[in-house]
Chain A
Amino acid sequence: MQFSKNWLKEFIDINLSTEEICDQLTMAGLEVDGYEHHKSKITGNDSIIKLDITPNRGDGFSVLGVARELSVINNLKFNLPKVVMIDNSFKDEIEVKVCEQGPVYYGRTLKNFSINSKTLPLIAERLQLSDQKLIDPVVDITNYILLELGQPLHAFDRDKLQGNIFVRPAKNKEALTLLDDQEISLDRDCLVIADSKKAVAFAGIMGGKSSAVTDTTSSIFLESAFFNPSAIRGRARRFGFQTDASIRFERGVDYAIQKLALDRASSLLDQTVGGTFSNIVSASLKNKLPKQSKIKVSLERANKVLGTNISKQQAMKYLKGLGMNPTEKNNIISVTSPSWRFDIDIEADLIEELARLEGYDSLPQTSLNPVYKKILKAPEVSLSETLVSKGFNEIITYSFISPEEHKLYGLGTSPLEVENPISQNMTVMRTNLISGLLNTCLYNHNHGQENQRLFEIGNTFTLKNSKKVKENKTIGGLLQGSAVINNWKEQSREISFYDLKGVVLDLLSQFKVDYSSSDSSVDFLHPGMSSSILLNNKEVGFMGSLHPKFLENLGFKQDIFVFSFEVENLKDKSLTSFKQFSKFPSTSRDLAFLISKETSAASIQKIIESSAGDFFKGIKIFDVYQGKGIPEDKKSIALSVSWQSMEQTLVDSDIDNVIEKIVNSVKDELDGELRV
């Protein structure tokens, strides 16, 4: 809503600068979006004020409403515009019937007018300053009333109305062609203006084509009506549009202003296009107007909530100024909501009015007392700290991905789609974090960044049984490039799967959780260089090298390693009790075995562990070798096994028996040979 500042003078005698006015309005809750100065040939120095009206303040959608607000703030006398009553020269026999949803209706017919007249210069200027196009004098005047009084008017071609006027709910699927040629099929909860034959307007929203005023119209029927907000709300939006009328009606138009608006329009039409006016036809259902029950506010409660000390006299003065006719008994003030306010229902609404007029800024301020509580660290904070300490950059990417990305990285899950996406590549909710990581890696690669370490922590979404959304907090990471950086002395090397696995294990080591892995079936990972991540025997994610085919599609030459796993239910591994360690030295032996190439390190470790006796302490793999000197189907794995006792220093003879057992087990179970 924007308007000329000088227009306010139709209602109040205000002599404040534009800046002061704007400041007052903003601080009263009618936020000024901006203003600019204008030099008017008619009214002199002027300004255009642009308001950003919140949905509760329908009354702010008119110059009258803004002027009234300023009159209350500045204690100014408020006048309604002068209206010269136009007598009726003939009688229109048309009758009007209203209904619950549209309880007030005024109308009158104008004949013999001159459509070729020019809109009055002041009206034309004000409309233009409100960013309203000039059309013809009749439309211009209806628009003028809309802006000035907030009352939408509609002009019908009188000759195209057949019989009487009815404000009624639409019939199911009732067809209506609107002024803008849009053909719509209405629902029963829509309201129409109909003549005796058919619907002629989408009530409170837009007129119909069939009864529209055209160049050949010789007689118009002017409507000034009130429709209940609940009958208008959302109806235009249902068909994908909004109008100046619907915006006002759905927020609430003053239900006592229809007659004034019609009179004011008549007077302006009389001045502009002349013609003869009929009697005013009207109908109203008083008991269907918005309820006017008494609303009470306890002054004590208001002062408590606001932390203020507003006196009874002051409160009464504020509420009287707002047109609420307050009465008081035992510090309880009762008011009735004015006909132009649709946001005054309960005590809290009145407390807000008192706060507004007192000025939010001058309300007192006290500190909130802190309350002790134990601060818990969320698992994602520990995860993030670990990764950052390892040189990873945290990224945040959009939760929606493209259908193509879902197809590539969605692991065959059914997509959770956005019905009204903002763009075609943001239509599916991500099921893991891989596409965001890869896109970011690619973006940075294209900007000359190498050796990237990225991670993201965010929710991922899967659709279960095509109805229920499963939302999981997930962590994903990406490694690419070389392993050592910032080092002029040592040679860097390409990173490997084991760098990736090390990161994942370091992450998990802070939590009370059992890690295990199995072969992965993630189709975008290299089948020979990936594994799934199991926590407490439940599969929660995967890690591995990106499949060469996917790398190629991305146009990437170097390997990219990724991991992703769900982080729900991770519990911090807090130190519960200290464990005694041995005071005696540990003994270790290095063993190298020749085993089949296919045998995993984990399986030989497991065998050694189970045959290494009571004093077994640990195994460390220190070399894995394939190639020269080793049969082609074999590999050599070298391990250092260690033992330690809590009670004594171990001697060779303690170990020798166990070594024999180990060697035998490896031979029996894996056909492994000890290398000497």
Chain B
Amino acid sequence: MNLDTLKKTLLELKAKAITEFKSADSRSDIDDIYRSFLGKKGEVNLLLKSLGSFPQEKRKEAGMLLNELKSDLEEAYLQITVSLSSKANQERLSNEKIDTSLPGFQARKGSVHPVSKTIKEICDFFEKMGFDVESGPEAEIDYYNFEALNVPEDHPAKDMHDTFYLNNAGLLRTHTSPVQIRTMEKRDAPHRIICPGKVYRKDSDLTHTPMFHQIEGLVVEEGASFSQLKGLLNDFLEDFFGEKVELRFRPSYFPFTEPSAEADIRWNKNWLEVLGCGMVHPNVLKGVGVDTKIYSGFAFGLGVERMAMLKYDIPDLRAFFENDIRFLNQF
């Protein structure tokens, strides 16, 4: 073979390969064709083997021609594979069209009870202020519910609490204040605690349920003052309602605080009572061994349902215990 015939053969081979590539319609056909030209036993390799028959001085040029063909065919192969896969993608895309407006498969949504949600919102604020969340038993004894809180036997203040008594001589706590006493008995001052929980009073009408939730807060430390109490509650209410609220304090009476106060907020023009609070009565502090020469304290208590009703615009207290899923799902 001389160079001219080689050139001719190569041209024919190239034309043939390209025609074959073009007529292929699957990836495997293309690969077969590729192998038949460029594989180990492919035609290009066969030609390479015949290079030996060329005279020394022409062999180099012949090799260059062969390599040129090889790279041309590689190029053609690449092109055809790209175009084929893009054709396949094109086809897939034109066949696959879904209605994306159909509903997505969302996970079912559960809900936290509005009372729990409100408790969490309130406790979150106080925890950030350094309060520990404490709890205590709901089945209490008279000592913790009344006596240790400076409510003596037969005192008219007991009328403020319609108590449920239990057949073991205990009672259902009427407020979360017993947790104060239990905590102060357990640990030494200073204290910052917040005590959420269920309380029970023998009362049932449109605005009362025999069980409801209270949160009690207590601060006992050096220099705890009424002005701090006012400031703290003001900050808390602003945090809870997410905006400034008009707040007023007025004198009230709780046996376990002195001075005692009630806090009202301005709600739709009217004053609405939301909290009871005051400086912890010295008798209470002395009873649990707090040195009143060093420490003073303040405490506050609020009704969770009432706060939730205000914040979430819930008109009926009883909705909290009806547990209608249509109500619950909104929280």
Q: Is B187 an interface residue (CB 8 A)?
A: no
Contact yes or no, B230 A422, CB < 8 A: no
CB-CB contacts below 8 Å: A225-251 with B? 233-235, 237, 247, 250-251
| Given A373-B132, A378-B133, residue A305 in contact with residue B279 (CB < 8 A) | yes
Nearest A residue to B228 via CB reads A368
Residue of B nearest to A56 (CB): B253
CB pair B110 A453 closer than 8 Å: yes
- A391: nearest chain-B partner, CB-CB: B108
A55 touches B111 (CB 8 A): no
Q: What is the chain B residue whose CB lies nearest that of A418?
A: B164
Contacts of B168 in A (CB 8 A): 416, 463, 466-469
Q: A29-B252, A373-B132 are in contact. Are A395 and B328 (CB under 8 A)?
A: yes
Considering the chains assembled together, what is the distance between the CA atoms of A235 and B328 in angstroms?
46
Contact residues in A for B160 (Cβ distance below 8 Å): 55
Q: Which B150-181 residues have C-beta < 8 A from chain A?
A: 153-160, 164-170, 172
Chain B residues with CB under 8 Å of A471's CB are 137-139
In the assembled complex, which residues on chain B have CB atoms less than 8 Å from the CB atom of A555? none
Contact across chains for B234 and A365 when beta carbons are under 8 A apart: yes
**Residue B94 at the chain A interface, CB threshold 8 Å:** no
Which chain A residue lies CB-closest to B203?
A: A422
- Are B228 and A419 in contact, CB atoms less than 8 angstroms apart? no
Partner of B156, one of A55, A397, A422: A55
> Are B138 and A399 in contact, with the CB atoms below 8 A?
yes
Q: Among the listed stretches A193-201, A208-216, A443-451, which one makes contact with chain B, having 4 or more residues with CB under 8 Å of it? A: A443-451
Q: Which residues of A contact B164 (CB under 8 A)?
A: 418-422
Q: Is the pair B172, A360 in contact by a Cβ cutoff of 8 Å? A: no
Contacts of A416 in B (CB 8 A): 139, 166-168
A375-B127, A421-B164 are known contacts. Are A367 and B228 too (CB-CB below 8 A)? yes
Which A residues lie within 8 Å of B253 (CB)? 29, 54-57, 343
Distance in Å from the Cβ of B155 to the closest Cβ of chain A? 7
**From residue 375 to 395 of chain A, which have CB atoms closer than 8 A to chain B?**
375, 378, 381, 384, 387-395
Segment among A480-488, A593-601, A636-644 that sits at the interface with chain B? A480-488
Q: Is B210 an interface residue (CB 8 A)?
A: yes
| B321 & A396 in contact (Cβ 8 Å cutoff) | yes
B323 and A250 form a contact (CB under 8 A): no
Interface residues on A, range: 35 or more
CB-based contact B130/A370 at 8 Å:
yes
- Residues in A with CB closer than 8 Å to B266 are none
A392 to B160, CA, bound (A): 38
The A-B contact count (CB < 8 A) is 243
Q: Are B251 and A55 in contact (CB under 8 A)?
A: no
Chain A residues whose C-beta falls within 8 Å of the C-beta of B282 in the assembled complex: 346-348
Residue from A250, A371, A394 within 8 A of B116 (CB atoms): A394
B260 beta carbon closer than 8 Å to chain A:
yes
Q: Which of A388, A422, A458 has the most CB of B within 10 A?
A: A422
* Contact present for B154 and A234 (CB under 8 Å): yes
Residues of A within 8 Å of B260, CB to CB, are 352
> How near does chain B come to A385, taking the closest CB pair, in angstroms?
8
Question: Chain A residue with minimal CB distance to B140?
Answer: A469
Partner of A31, one of B103, B167, B250: B250
- Cβ-neighbour of B279 out of A29, A348, A396, A449 (below 8 A): A348
| A388 adjacent to B105 (CB under 8 Å) | no
A1 at the binding interface (Cβ < 8 Å)? no
Q: Does the CB pair A429–B155 fall under 8 Å? A: no
Q: A344-366, CB under 8 A of B: which get 1 and which 0? A: 00111101100110001101111
**Which residues of B (25-53) have their CB < 8 Å from a CB of A?**
none
Query: Would you call A529 an interface residue if the criterion is a C-beta within 8 Å of the partner chain's C-beta atoms?
Result: no
Partner of A394, one of B113, B129, B138, B165: B113
Query: Restricting to A483-534, which residues have a CB under 8 Å from any CB of B?
Result: 485-489
Query: Could you say which residues of chain A place their CB within 8 Å of the CB of B228?
Result: 307, 366-368
A27 within 8 Å of B (CB atoms) = yes
Note all chain B residues with C-beta closer than 8 A to A459: 137-138, 198
A-side contacts of B259, CB under 8 Å:
306, 348, 351-352, 355-356
The answer on a CB contact under 8 Å between B106 and A399 is no
Q: Do residues A233 and B155 form an inter-chain contact, with CB atoms below 8 A?
A: yes
Give the residue of B130, B155, B165, B203 whose beta carbon is less than 8 angstroms from that of A418.
B165
Structural contact, B192 and A371, CB atoms closer than 8 A: yes
Residue of A nearest to B197 (CB): A459
Which residues from chain A contact B113 at a C-beta distance below 8 Å?
393-396
Interface residue ranges of B72-111 to A (CB < 8 Å): 102-103, 105-111
What chain A residues lie within 8 Å of B204 (beta carbons)? 422-423
A444 and B166 form a contact (CB under 8 A): no
Is B225 an interface residue when CB atoms closer than 8 A count as contact?
A: yes
User: Min CB distance, B225 to chain A, in Å?
Assistant: 5
The reply to whether the CB of A452 lies closer than 8 angstroms to some CB of chain B is yes
Shortest B206–chain A CB gap in Å is 15
Q: What does the 1/0 interface line of A56-95 toward B look like (CB < 8 Å)?
A: 1100000000000000000000000000000000000000
Tell me whether B250 and A429 are in contact (CB under 8 A).
no
Q: Across the interface, which residues of B come within 8 angstroms of A429, CB to CB?
A: 139, 166
Contact across chains for B107 and A363 when beta carbons are under 8 A apart: no
Report yes or no: B112 in contact with A384, Cβ–Cβ below 8 A.
yes
Which A residues touch B223, using CB under 8 A? 304
Contacting pair B105 A355 (CB below 8 A) = no
B61 nearest CB across to chain A (Å)? 52
**28 A–B pairs (Cβ distance < 8 Å), ordered by A:** A27-B248, A27-B251, A28-B250, A31-B250, A54-B253, A250-B156, A305-B225, A306-B226, A351-B279, A352-B251, A352-B258, A355-B259, A360-B251, A366-B225, A384-B116, A389-B110, A391-B110, A393-B113, A399-B172, A400-B210, A417-B166, A419-B164, A419-B166, A453-B108, A471-B137, A486-B103, A486-B105, A488-B102
Told that A307-B226, A378-B133, A418-B164 touch, could you supply 20 new A-B pairs with CB distance under 8 A?
A31-B252, A55-B253, A233-B154, A233-B156, A234-B155, A307-B225, A351-B258, A355-B259, A360-B250, A360-B251, A368-B232, A368-B235, A384-B112, A396-B113, A396-B320, A398-B210, A399-B138, A399-B211, A426-B210, A466-B168
A residues contacting B by CB (< 8 A) are 26-29, 31, 54-57, 233-235, 237, 247, 250-251, 304-308, 343, 346-349, 351-352, 355-356, 360-361, 363-368, 370-373, 375, 378, 381, 384, 387-400, 416-423, 426, 429, 440, 443-444, 447, 449, 452-454, 458-459, 461, 463, 466-469, 471, 485-489
Query: 6 closest Cβ contacts across the A-B interface?
Result: A307-B227, A234-B154, A29-B251, A371-B130, A391-B108, A352-B259
